[in-house]
């Protein structure tokens, strides 16, 4: 498709989605070449380090070119599509229509459709299209593959889709027929994999663990929970641990630091990362300036970022800039773990399940108390075991001695 002299071309670029975001990955194109599009209509879904963002079209017109394929990562400011508009856009917006009796529709297939068809050995002439002018879209081809397994089996080589994100695509079954199959990792899973492997390769990981009696925290939570709930604030044990951690970080600033070459960077604010489990991965939104928050403020902030993370409503900048991270596998019943440090931070604290069990209490008596473990992985490049133990001791003392705020 080429534009006439009366048409204007508008470039769609990878937008700046946050001050800390330098690149984005196309998850899926919502439009294909030849499709009409309105200004501000979503043209593509983009992921930026685990946060998905919808990209609006800057102008009304017709999609002239898609310059970046799904699954490709490009820098902010890179042109990703061209939109044609102007006096000639009207006829084009109706879509190309092949002459009556014409069977060769190859000029109306997008690069993504042609690639998937080639990989499956499928003749696109036999696929019914639902796009403009009867054009075959990706969703048409995927539906055809799922409904015509015999046709898909004619592929000269096994299915391999470069894009890590192909919604509703049927996975290729293994040759042994036992149900084993392969699926491409999601973009989020790939980002997590790279980040965790890089962290293990970068930091000198060590783990220190303390056991904490949470009976004072439990009593305080019981006293405050109902009133906070009426104000719309869910009060969890995590909020108490986060508050105690922030206080301890102010006493042990080396834990609120990062390693930069041969230097330690000590951060003035505690930007607290809270790991949130999603159905398809993990994300760590950041609560900025957490040292300024009261217990209720901390509980409200944790509830807010967790809710928006699960609803995929976080902004890209909200997952960057953390200086210390807390993860909470205990909510799923886990009792002990050794978490991987969230680079470039130097430590990550783990809240495990709070379980009632018999312990020795005052006067060498046996009592039943709500107990938990707090494992912390830390970077031996930045600190030593004694500092890690003293820091955890401070968190433990705050939790075990919790009084009315």
Looking at the annotation, which residues are catalytic? Answer: 380, 384
3-class state of residue 43 by DSSP: strand
For residue 35, CA distances in Å to 58, 89, 269, 342 come to 15, 11, 48, 42
In sequence order, the β-bridge partners of residue 274 are: 326
Token pair listed for 367: 């009592």
The whole-angstrom separation of Cα 329 and Cα 3 is: 56
3-class state of residue 398 by DSSP: helix
In 60-105, beta strands by DSSP E: 61-66, 73-75, 79-86
3-class state of residue 371 by DSSP: strand
- HSE-CB at 112 with a 13 A cutoff on CA atoms is 29
Pairing, β 365-379 against β 347-350: antiparallel
Q: Is 385 exposed, middle or buried (0-12, 13-18, 19+ CB in 10 A)?
A: exposed
Q: Shortest CA distance to 108 belongs to which of 119, 92, 121?
A: 92
**96 prior amide bond cis, ω within 30:** no
């Amino acid at each position: 498709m080429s534009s006439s002299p009366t048409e204007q071309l508008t470039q769609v670029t990878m937008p700046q989605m946050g001050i800390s975001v330098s690149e984005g990955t196309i998850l899926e194109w919502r439009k294909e070449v030849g499709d009409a599009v309105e200004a501000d209509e979503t043209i593509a879904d983009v992921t930026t380090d685990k946060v998905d963002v919808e990209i609006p079209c800057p102008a009304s017109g017709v999609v002239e070119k898609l310059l970046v394929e799904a699954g490709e990562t490009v820098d902010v400011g890179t042109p990703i599509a061209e939109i044609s508009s102007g006096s000639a856009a009207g006829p084009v917006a109706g879509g190309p229509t092949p002459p009556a009796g014409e069977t060769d529709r190859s000029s109306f297939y997008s690069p993504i459709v042609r690639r998937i068809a080639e990989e499956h050995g499928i003749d696109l002439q036999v696929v019914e299209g639902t796009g403009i002018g009867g054009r075959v879209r990706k969703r048409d081809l995927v539906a055809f593959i799922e409904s015509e397994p015999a046709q898909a089996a004619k592929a000269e080589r096994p299915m391999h889709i470069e894009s890590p994100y192909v919604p509703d695509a049927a996975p290729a079954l293994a040759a042994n027929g036992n149900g084993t199959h392969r699926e491409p990792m999601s973009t989020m899973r790939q980002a997590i994999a790279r980040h965790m492997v890089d962290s293990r390769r970068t930091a000198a990981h060590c783990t220190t663990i303390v056991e904490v009696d949470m009976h004072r925290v439990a009593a305080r939570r019981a006293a405050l929970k109902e009133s906070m709930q009426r104000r719309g604030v869910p009060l969890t044990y995590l909020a108490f641990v986060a508050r105690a951690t922030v206080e301890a970080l102010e006493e042990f600033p080396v834990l609120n630091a990062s390693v930069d070459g041969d230097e330690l960077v000590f951060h003035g604010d505690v930007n607290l990362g809270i790991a949130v489990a999603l159905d398809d991965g993990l994300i760590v939104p950041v609560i900025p300036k957490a040292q300024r928050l009261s217990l209720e403020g901390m509980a409200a902030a944790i509830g807010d970022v967790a809710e928006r993370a699960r609803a995929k409503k976080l902004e890209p900048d909200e997952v960057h800039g953390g200086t210390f991270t807390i993860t909470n596998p205990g909510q799923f019943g886990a009792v002990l773990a050794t978490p991987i440090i969230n680079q470039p931070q130097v430590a990550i604290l783990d809240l495990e399940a709070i379980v009632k069990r018999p312990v020795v209490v005052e006067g060498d008596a046996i009592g039943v108390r709500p107990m938990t473990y707090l494992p912390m992985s830390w970077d031996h490049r930045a600190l030593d075991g004694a500092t890690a133990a003293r820091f955890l001791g401070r968190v433990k003392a705050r939790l075990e001695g919790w009084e009315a705020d």
